[in-house]
Amino acid sequence: MAFGPYFLLASLEGLVTAAVLSLMALGLSLVFGVMRVVNVAHGEFYMLGAVVAWWVASLLGGHPAIGFLLALVISPLVVAAIAFVAERLVLSRLHYEPEATIVATIGLLYIIQQLALTFYGPEARPVQAPFNYRISLPWFGYSAYKLSVIGFSVLMMLATWLLLTRTKIGLIMRATQFDRETAQAFGIPVGRVYAGVFALGAALAAVAAVLIVPIQQAHYLMGLDPLLLSFIVVIIGGLGSLRGTVVAAVLIGLSDGIISMFFSPTLAKMLATLLVALVLVFRPQGLFGTAAR
Amino acid sequence: MASLTPLLITRDLCRSFGGLRAVDQVDFSLPEGETHAIIGPNGAGKTTFVSLICGRVAPTSGSVVFDGTDISRMPAHKRVRAGIAYTFQITSVFANLSAFDNVALAVQRRLIDDHERGLTSRALVEHGMDALHKVGLAALADKVAGNLSYGHQRLLEVAMGLALKPRLLILDEPTQGLSDSEIENFISLVRQIGEEATVLLIEHNMDVVMALAQRITVMEQGRVLAQGGPAEIRANPAVQQAYLGG
Amino acid sequence: MKIQTNLAPSAKSLALHAGVVLLLLALNFLLPEYHRGIFARVLVLSVFAMGYNLAFGYTGLLSLGHAMFFAAGLYGAGLPIYHLGWNVWPAFGAGILAGGALALVVGFLALRTTGVAFMIVTLMFAQVFYLTTLYFTTYTRGEEGLVLPQAVRRLSLPDGPLDLSDPSTRYLVALSLFTVVLAAILFLVRAPYGRSLVAIRENEERMRMLGYDVFANKLAAVVLSGTFCAAAGAAYGVLFGYVGSGFASIQYSILPLLWVLVGGAATTLGPLIGTLFMFYVIDTASSYTTAHLLVVGLVLIGVILFFPKGIAGTVRERWLRWLP
């Protein structure tokens, strides 16, 4: 294949990564933005989303689209419920003290991972895509499903943005983010808002996972890499900035797709991680964010 | 002992936060041995100004000269070792340590630099208790600082400053939140300190200012509005209008 | 009232620590083979935990990347032995140097950040280190790792070489390293430098305004901490004869955090207690279930929720105020 089409293919793959990544990073960013909690277990919510999707799809026979669509609804709900309970049982009792919550979410990470290994097993299992149409381009055929992932992610991002900026729920969230004490004084149930935000963040990771399982299989260790990538996205985009998160996700997704076509993936990951660490050291507000504290 | 060159000089000192000029072209000089008060309404830039002197905030432009040396670029900890001590506006003692251990941290730092005597357990106790005696907290030396009363914590804060044996002691609103009798004690304490060190005092309580200050600087909107002795300042119409409320 | 302050450990605490070391020495002759093996491993890994404790417990620097310092010691010692045929002594030195140098660079960069950013930056640097060990798989053989043959694991001493793979020798060498580091930390925390680290943890800005160079103090703490961890890594390599990238993975950054939290942050004996406790918890759990990660997770959450001061920290708070 000539360079041009090869590059196009790499870019398309990169965009798919970017789409899923921005959903997941959005969840992480939301939780950090409102609660000031770094959720290390975010990758496990993603993994859980994929595993539940497989479970739903495999319980249901019939056309793969039915299983998939059902998974797209059930999986985020299940994951959100688990996150909600974890928040109420653990995080809220730590009074959101940053270091304690990090340790606790690391604990959560191990628990979820181990439970997945015990009950789901070490195998990687696929979920069938809802449809199997290939769009033929002049140089290669490309999966229509992958393109629809991009589209659906954009829709989800828009929905989240509308939720945050146009609804009362979003207003309450922003008020809580802005000043916790005042919000409490105005009768906002801060505890429940936090639990809701934590659940919403987890649900976004689960949606990302359901979208990805027809492309990559569900596996109990699948959470780590996306977690690190989401950290990278959130940092580069500026912690807590929605617009920055999207821009950074596209940037990281594209460069990840393109770089890994030309370099060894390990080297690419090494350089990218190092670069991001240095960004955080020298420009802690992110490349796009304004001073985040 | 007032030498010819002032202990502290600032020239054209500016600091902006975003678009706001918190300190705007301040020229200021402080002779050795003087007790000097800075007054002005909230947001006049008083704390920012002394933060520029002690190095907690870096200047946007202009210079700070201490004892003949330009210290504008010197990091805060070196300025402290050069002899500028700062006591915090918001009480900032080590709440988990005893009163003595709080002061000992200051003594320890000074003794490390004191190559003659060096750092020993005995010197630490001697100098630490000395500082606590001065502020009248010696009897509470082994009490955990966090459990001390607010007034005592303020005194401990001053003791930490004194333990550094500074040439210039900056007190940022030291009497805020103190009762009247505590303020009485405080005035005599600062008078005592003023005999050995130069004192720069930010203060809202005008009785304290008038009782202590040999000279007063009035700040408003980041600038120096007026400067002079207590009587002069009291008589200054601009000051009366802006600050003393007529 | 008489106020006293000691810049060296009190007689009581010296006696306690000497007693602990003597007890550990006696255990070499009393423990059954299997448990002696576990204890030898625990001793080396507690050195890792003590190094971590210096940064996290005393200085308040929550690093999520200390595996890189342990692994730097491991590889710094293991690679020259394996590829260049170095002796154990210089290799051990190389391991420590590698860890110290890495800590200096990482500390210099990472300490420009604080709090959450510091955690993420250290995590990322460690991840880069881990990926590096995978990338140079020709030399490191990645996850599979290198096995150091018994023939080269000999410590040359004036009166003949010591075979480090012998269980008793291994135990005693591990105990020696443990004792040296424990003593160093015991004296350090009473010394002015140790006190200033704790004070920096409590109130950084106040320390700066008392004339302390906070950055330099923290950097020194990170370098010292990294050096101790590297010593543990180098010792682990030569004593147990295995050098693999698994030790550079995130899990080995989390484990010392877990051990220190369980045992008690900012206590001298906490790291030993925590490491020992977790080893036996996991060992016991493994005989019932393979799900040992579940135990790790549950203990992490349990400790942070109910015993945030850890075992030794709780003992100190409730009963023995003088415990260092």
pLDDT tens column, C246-298:
899 988 998 999 899 889 988 999 999 999 998 888 887 777 766 778 888 88
pLDDT for B161 beyond 60: yes
- Number of alpha carbons in the 13 Å side-chain half-sphere of residue C23: 8
**What is the enclosing helix (H) or strand (E) of C123?**
helix C115-135
pLDDT for B246 beyond 70: no
Q: By a Cβ cutoff of 8 Å, what residues of chain B touch chain C?
A: 54, 56, 75-78, 80-81, 85-86, 88, 92-97, 100-101, 104-106, 108-110, 112, 119-121, 124-125, 128-129, 138-139, 141-142, 160, 164
Whether C7 has its CB under 8 Å from any CB of chain B: the answer is: yes
What pLDDT was estimated at residue A291?
Answer: 43
- Number of alpha carbons in the 13 Å side-chain half-sphere of residue A246: 11
What pLDDT was estimated at residue B198?
Answer: 94
Query: Do the Cβ atoms of A280 and C117 come within 8 Å?
Result: yes
Q: Which chains touch B (3 or more CB pairs under 8 A)?
A: C
Query: Do the Cβ atoms of B92 and C212 come within 8 Å?
Result: no
pLDDT tens for C216-256 read 999 999 999 999 999 999 999 999 989 999 899 988 998 99
Minimum Cα–Cα distance from B138: chain C residue: C1
Q: For residue B77, which residues of chain C lie inside 8 Å, CB to CB? A: 208-209, 211-214
- Position C54 confidence tier, pLDDT thresholds 50, 70, 90: very high
Query: Do the Cβ atoms of C298 and A111 come within 8 Å?
Result: yes
What pLDDT was estimated at residue B242?
Answer: 67
Q: Tell me how far apart the alpha carbons of residues C267 and B195 are, in angstroms, rounded to a whole number.
A: 44
C residues 80..119 contacting B (CB < 8 A): none
Q: What percent of chain B has pLDDT over 70?
A: 96
Sequence-distant (6+) residues with CB within 8 A of C5 are: B100, B101, B104, B121, B124, B125, B128
- Position A60 confidence tier, pLDDT thresholds 50, 70, 90: confident
Q: Supply the Cα-derived Rg of chain B in whole angstroms.
A: 18
- Rounded to 5°, the CA angle C243-C248-C252 comes to 110
Q: Which tokens sit at C139?
A: 């030399």
Phi-psi region of C86 (alpha: psi -120 to 50; beta: other; left: phi over 0): beta
- Residues facing B17 on adjacent strands: B20
What pLDDT was estimated at residue C52?
Answer: 97
- The full set of domain ranges for chain A reads 24-222
Q: For residue C212, which residues of chain B lie inside 8 Å, CB to CB? A: 77, 109
Spacing of C-alpha A148 from chain mean position: 17
CA distances from C118 to A293, C72, C115, C121, C221 (A): 13, 20, 5, 5, 15
> Distance from C112 to chain A by nearest Cα, in Å?
6
> Distance from C181 to chain B by nearest Cα, in Å?
24
Q: Which of A93, A117, A273 is nearest residue C128 as measured by Cβ atoms? A: A273
Q: What percent of chain B has pLDDT over 90?
A: 37
Whether A273 has its CB under 8 Å from any CB of chain C: the answer is: yes
Mark out the alpha helices in B62-205 (DSSP H runs): 76-82, 99-113, 121-135, 150-163, 180-196
Q: Which tokens sit at A165?
A: 């900026």
pLDDT tens for C147-190 read 888 777 888 777 778 888 888 889 999 999 999 999 999 999 88
Q: Rounded to the nearest 5°, which phi and psi values hold at C15?
A: -60, -45
CA distances from C88 to A109, A112, C34, C97, C150 (A): 38, 42, 25, 14, 12
What pLDDT was estimated at residue A251?
Answer: 85
Minimum Cα–Cα distance from C197: chain B residue: B105
Pick among B77, B84, B87, B144 to test the C interface (most C CBs inside 10 A) = B77
Average pLDDT over residues C65-77: 96
Average of per-residue pLDDT values in chain A: 85
Query: Is B1-82+204-240 CATH 3.40.50.300?
Result: yes
Q: Which of C116, C128, C257 is nearest residue A270 as measured by Cβ atoms? A: C128
Asked if residues B186 and B208 have their Cβ atoms less than 8 Å apart, the reply is yes
Whether A290 has its CB under 8 Å from any CB of chain C: the answer is: no
Q: Tell me how far apart the alpha carbons of residues B225 and B218 are, in angstroms, rounded to a whole number.
A: 5
Query: Do the Cβ atoms of C293 and A110 come within 8 Å?
Result: yes
Minimum Cα–Cα distance from C309: chain A residue: A100
End-to-end CA distance of chain A: 48
Query: Do the Cβ atoms of A111 and C124 come within 8 Å?
Result: no
Q: Which of C7, C195, C213 is nearest residue B121 as measured by Cβ atoms? A: C7
Query: Do the Cβ atoms of B94 and C212 come within 8 Å?
Result: no
pLDDT tens for C163-175 read 888 888 899 999 9
Q: Which amino acid is at B231?
A: A
SS3 of residue B84 by DSSP: strand
- Position B243 confidence tier, pLDDT thresholds 50, 70, 90: low
What pLDDT was estimated at residue C3?
Answer: 66
pLDDT for B157 beyond 80: yes
Asked if residues B85 and B107 have their Cβ atoms less than 8 Å apart, the reply is no
Cβ contact B–A (≥3 pairs, < 8 Å): no
Q: Which residue has the higher pLDDT, B217 or A1?
A: B217
- Position A293 confidence tier, pLDDT thresholds 50, 70, 90: very low
What pLDDT was estimated at residue A43?
Answer: 95
Pick among A95, A273, A278 to test the C interface (most C CBs inside 10 A) = A273
pLDDT tens for B42-87 read 888 899 999 999 999 999 999 999 998 999 999 999 999 999 999 8
- Position A240 confidence tier, pLDDT thresholds 50, 70, 90: low
- Residues facing A254 on adjacent strands: none
Q: Which of A108, A282, A284 is nearest residue C297 as measured by Cβ atoms? A: A108
Query: Do the Cβ atoms of A111 and C304 come within 8 Å?
Result: no
pLDDT for B3 beyond 60: no
- Of A260-274, B187-201, C56-70, the one with minimum mean pLDDT is A260-274
β B69-70/B61-66 pair status = antiparallel
Phi-psi region of C323 (alpha: psi -120 to 50; beta: other; left: phi over 0): beta
pTM of this prediction? 0.86
Name the residue with tokens 């801060």: A190
Closest by CA position to C88, among listed C44, C152, C43, C150: C152
